[in-house]
Amino acid sequence: MLTHTQKKTAESIINIFETSEVLGNYGQVTVISGDTGHLTFGRSQTTLGSGNLYKLLRRYCDNGGARFGGRLEPFLPPCKRKDTRLDDDLTLHNVLRASADDVVMRDTQDQFFDQEYWQPAAAAADRLGLVSPLSVTVVYDSFVHGSWIRMRDRTIGKVGTVAEADEQRWVQTYVKTRRAWLAGHSREDLRATVYRMDALQRLIENDQWQLSLPLVVRDKEISEATLSATPPGCYVGPQPGSRILALQQPLPRGLDVRLVQLGLSDRGIAIRADGVFGQVSQRCVKQYQAANGLPVTGVADIALIAQLTS
């Protein structure tokens, strides 16, 4: 049985693989050319193609406290159909990014990824006789990334069961087997993920079977401090209308910026709702002002913010 910290550390390693962030990027939206999963979203990058993106969004929208549930509801039917046109739906992408500011979405993701990936991986590791935190992490990575059963069976074919090979030898063989499979895969996007096995191999070489903190994985620090930090790219304030938004240094960031950007996106303006008011945001505000007979200043004053976020 892993401790709470060991479990969070194992999850953080896979978060780094998936989104380059220790706590994961709850609002990350990705579409990789050639990826059969198509549109992917969230802390552990669940996909449209697998059907898990629909499950996640359905669960979120069913929560009465979901701030962006009403905005996401119309996208549920095409998501359930695995409609790949959603790969290019910038309005949906922006709502997904904004939903990460909602603690309900973050909690939903944590519960969903735990039930869909962590618990099955931990059970599979236990059935096989893998007990160390690093061993469970290796299994968890394959549940998130795919092809656990195929790689498990290949490894058993090489060295036998965990009991026959001993745990550490079995896991080392598994990691090498999986790396070779990824490196020789016909899909370019999978070949590019050999870094996952390289990172796990370095942990093995450094005898980090217990995942004792602090650790560095792919140049990211995993420590008590980073595990308890605020997730990156998630904003709880300032509230819309509490300040004007204009291009300045440092660039304004926050919930109000994100909601203004989302309002512009809802009105057909091509903008990425990243919560940062930069030159693109200024240009998009000017575009909206010009189209609506307003003074073209590029500044979102209180009245304009109210209009865009209502």
- Whether the pLDDT of residue 310 is over 90: the answer is no
Closest CA to 54 of 104, 107, 116: 116
* Per-residue confidence (pLDDT) for residue 197, from 0 to 100: 98
pLDDT band per the 50, 70, 90 thresholds, residue 44? confident
Three-state DSSP class for 73? helix
User: Of 188, 174, 173, nearest to 139 (Cα)?
Assistant: 174
Q: Determine the pLDDT at residue 1.
A: 81
What residues are paired with 253 via a beta bridge?
276
pLDDT above 90 (res 256): yes
What is the per-residue burial (b if ≥16 Cβ within 10 Å, else e) of 56-68? bbebbbeeeebeb
Per-residue model confidence (pLDDT) at position 35: 79
Mean of the per-residue pLDDT values of the chain = 96
List pLDDT tens digits, range 69-103. 999 999 999 999 999 999 999 999 999 999 999 99
pLDDT at position 292 is: 97
State the burial class of residue 20 (Cβ atoms within 10 Å of its Cβ: 0-12, 13-18, 19+): middle
- Is beta strand 215-217 parallel, antiparallel or unpaired with respect to 220-222? antiparallel
Residues 116-164: tens digit of each pLDDT: 999 999 999 999 999 999 999 999 999 999 999 999 999 999 999 999 9
Q: Taking residues 197-214, what's their average pLDDT?
A: 98
d(CA 57, CA 82): 13
Region 35-64 average pLDDT: 93
Ramachandran angles phi, psi of 239, nearest 5°:
-75, 145
Kind and range of the H or E run holding 217: strand 215-217
Instruction: Give the contacts of 261 (CB within 8 A, at least 6 positions apart).
Output: 94, 271, 272, 273, 274, 275, 281, 284
* CATH 1.10.3720.10 fits domain 4-227: no
The domain ranges of the chain are 4-227, 255-309
Split at pLDDT 50, 70, 90, the class of 34 is confident
Say which residue the tokens 């990334």 belong to: 145
Q: How far apart are CA 96 and CA 53, in angstroms?
A: 11
Strand partners, 216: 221
